[in-house]
A and B are shown apart, each in its own frame.
Chain A
């Protein structure tokens, strides 16, 4: 799986026997000794954090499935029963619900890290694209899972999202009814959503395997964005990065636990504590916070089909990003102008999220009495910048920007440019 020379030597009779037949211990050992760039910072710990998130979701989800029935008559009360009556259900249900939010929190940091340090550039395009696929399946899984408690937001979220498909010309309505299995969101919908919600995480796990395989084949990117040139530039994954990842995971779990124990519903919506009612729409339908930026893009356009295409495009553009960014320099550390555009992109993403949560006609930025920029226009400006960053700024900046001088090696960037290179590798391992 990894692109480095194996140093594993089986010591015992059993491991020697196994190594000739299924070198699985060797695979694990090679994984642990994998040479990683010595300068990885804490932004690189989110890969490990995300692996943990996936495991938490799968384990807590399987447990919830043991106490849940996907039927419109009992789904809502089943979730309440899990929360109140099932032993430790009060812990495991919020673990799954809060876990979904924590998963997205971590994946967004992981993605912005990739954007900042140019991790998507050659030769790591496949790692990036696999990551985009994982993100896409994550969004589908989260949406399907949100339907299962069968509250008002579950029902109306599913209704609004499945209505997106009616925007498809000619076959829209037939497509929507095929997805729902009825004229509207109902028992058939709940059943299939549950089946698919159970399936997709395992698909994610498989693609995560490919994702890790891909970057172990090319080697990891790092904060300065230049390739390791000597053995001195790398450190074995264990113990150096297992310890670093473990520390980051502990901090992450502290935040996770804070929400589970003190604010299990803070990230949800109160309306989802009302059972689904097909006759009454909640006054203010908003998606979960992790979808808000895309929701804002959807609503930025008055046309149904155009809005949908823009929203799909906002994710599709990520897939072709490796070919849009024309700069040979990976890390934004050495791209003084594009770095500013990146920071604006980051702020812009938060603004889009803010727009997604607000009512379009409300005033966002007051300018004089009762006047100002409303959220509709703010989301239009932000949508424009979102696409401009990928389609204009990155292609053009790569051609006109003069990057700063890159360090000679990873080791020199860590130990200071003036060092003669004679420093033993152990000298900086602290």
Chain B
């Protein structure tokens, strides 16, 4: 007649369910706790992340030419634009662009807080699938149909402000974070 005797031959289903769920939950948390480091180890290592800034001296760049520097494993273009190229970039009706931006929006202020339209600084990576667009002065057909850059991989054309004008790339060439550390030197990253 005692309760203890009764409980020996009776399975408490609710109690068993609770044990199943509790054990399963602990196992799931454990699997997650060990699984996350195994997944996360693939992201950028601290030293990779830290090696993220370079300085570029603008005074070495002749008018009409461009320098390429390696920043975070990607090229950064600095083009010393000619007055004609600047005028061309400023004259475009922004509303007609696939990725609208004025020429001034693609520049950073210098030490005096002014924009210097001569120097255009961009990440030299096509926004389509990551190739390096061609944009050297003096090479035949190297500037694309809009006088800026041309991506040889899938045929995207960028204008003299690095804005996408024609082809499969969805966006303008990216402006990296940069600032003027002196009148002629910029720090990218």
Judge whether A284 and B152 touch: CB under 8 Å.
Answer: yes
Judge whether A159 and B170 touch: CB under 8 Å.
Answer: no
Judge whether A285 and B153 touch: CB under 8 Å.
Answer: yes
Which of A164, A178, A184 is close to B73, meaning CB atoms less than 8 Å apart?
A: A184
Given known pairs A281-B153, A299-B154, the reply for A304 and B44 (CB within 8 Å) is no
A278 to B70, CA, bound (A): 8
Does B155 interact with chain A (Cβ within 8 Å)? yes
Residues of B within 8 A of A307 (CB): 168
Judge whether A183 and B154 touch: CB under 8 Å.
Answer: no
A166 to B128, CA, bound (A): 9
Judge whether A304 and B168 touch: CB under 8 Å.
Answer: yes
Which of A156, A162, A361 is close to B131, meaning CB atoms less than 8 Å apart?
A: A156
Residues of B within 8 A of A360 (CB): 154-155
A299 to B169, CA, bound (A): 12
Given known pairs A186-B73, A278-B75, A302-B168, the reply for A181 and B153 (CB within 8 Å) is no
Which of A177, A281, A361 is close to B44, meaning CB atoms less than 8 Å apart?
A: A177
Which of A159, A162, A181, A184 is close to B43, meaning CB atoms less than 8 Å apart?
A: A181
Judge whether B73 and A177 touch: CB under 8 Å.
Answer: no
Which of A160, A181, A303 is close to B45, meaning CB atoms less than 8 Å apart?
A: A181
A115 to B140, CA, bound (A): 49
Judge whether B42 and A281 touch: CB under 8 Å.
Answer: no
Judge whether B168 and A181 touch: CB under 8 Å.
Answer: no
Judge whether B130 and A160 touch: CB under 8 Å.
Answer: yes
Which of B70, B72, B129 is close to A159, meaning CB atoms less than 8 Å apart?
A: B129
Judge whether A278 and B73 touch: CB under 8 Å.
Answer: yes
Kindly report which residue of chain B lies nearest to residue A277, judged by CB atoms: B132
Does A266 interact with chain B (Cβ within 8 Å)? no
Residues of A within 8 A of B68 (CB): 279
A188 to B45, CA, bound (A): 9
Residues of A within 8 A of B70 (CB): 278-279
Q: Which of B112-168 contact A (CB under 8 A)?
A: 124, 128-132, 151-155, 168
Which of A162, A186, A192, A281: most chain B CB closer than 10 A?
A: A281
Does B48 interact with chain A (Cβ within 8 Å)? yes
Contact residues of B: prevailing secondary structure: loop
Given known pairs A184-B73, A185-B73, A186-B73, the reply for A160 and B129 (CB within 8 Å) is yes
User: In the complex, what's the smallest C-beta–C-beta distance from A183 to chain B, in angstroms?
Assistant: 4
A177 to B72, CA, bound (A): 12
Q: Which of B70-96 contact A (CB under 8 A)?
A: 70, 72-75
Does A80 interact with chain B (Cβ within 8 Å)? no
Does A283 interact with chain B (Cβ within 8 Å)? yes
Judge whether B48 and A159 touch: CB under 8 Å.
Answer: no
Does A182 interact with chain B (Cβ within 8 Å)? yes
Given known pairs A186-B73, A278-B73, A361-B155, the reply for A178 and B42 (CB within 8 Å) is yes
User: In the complex, what's the smallest C-beta–C-beta distance from B96 to chain A, in angstroms?
Assistant: 18
Judge whether A183 and B73 touch: CB under 8 Å.
Answer: yes
A178 to B130, CA, bound (A): 16
Q: How would residues 276 to 320 of chain A score, 1 for a CB under 8 Å from any chain B CB and 0 otherwise? A: 001111111100000000000001001110010000000000000
User: In the complex, what's the smallest C-beta–C-beta distance from B138 to chain A, in angstroms?
Assistant: 17
A299 to B131, CA, bound (A): 15
Given known pairs A188-B48, A304-B168, A361-B155, the reply for A183 and B72 (CB within 8 Å) is yes
Residues of B within 8 A of A177 (CB): 43-44
User: In the complex, what's the smallest C-beta–C-beta distance from B136 to chain A, in angstroms?
Assistant: 11
Kindly report which residue of chain A lies nearest to residue B39, judged by CB atoms: A178
Judge whether A183 and B75 touch: CB under 8 Å.
Answer: no
Given known pairs A278-B73, A280-B132, A281-B131, the reply for A183 and B44 (CB within 8 Å) is yes
Does A163 interact with chain B (Cβ within 8 Å)? yes
User: In the complex, what's the smallest C-beta–C-beta distance from B47 to chain A, in angstroms?
Assistant: 10
Residues of A within 8 A of B75 (CB): 278-279
Does A179 interact with chain B (Cβ within 8 Å)? yes
A282 to B152, CA, bound (A): 8
A163 to B131, CA, bound (A): 10
Residues of A within 8 A of B73 (CB): 182-186, 278
A184 to B154, CA, bound (A): 19
User: In the complex, what's the smallest C-beta–C-beta distance from A81 to chain B, in angstroms?
Assistant: 25
A283 to B124, CA, bound (A): 15
A163 to B156, CA, bound (A): 16
Given known pairs A182-B73, A185-B73, the reply for A160 and B42 (CB within 8 Å) is no
Residues of A within 8 A of B43 (CB): 177-178, 181
Q: Which of A356-373 contact B (CB under 8 A)?
A: 359-361
A280 to B142, CA, bound (A): 13
User: In the complex, what's the smallest C-beta–C-beta distance from A310 to chain B, in angstroms?
Assistant: 13
Judge whether A159 and B154 touch: CB under 8 Å.
Answer: no
Identify the B interface with A (CB < 8 A).
Answer: 42-45, 48, 52, 68, 70, 72-75, 124, 128-132, 151-155, 168, 170
Identify the A interface with B (CB < 8 A).
Answer: 156, 159-160, 162-164, 166, 177-179, 181-186, 188, 192, 278-285, 299, 302-304, 307, 359-361
13 sample A-B contacts, Cβ–Cβ < 8 Å, listed by A number = A160-B130, A177-B44, A181-B43, A183-B73, A184-B72, A184-B73, A192-B42, A278-B74, A278-B75, A281-B132, A283-B152, A285-B131, A304-B170
Q: Sorted from nearest, which 5 A-B pairs have the closest CB atoms?
A: A184-B73, A183-B72, A163-B130, A281-B131, A163-B129
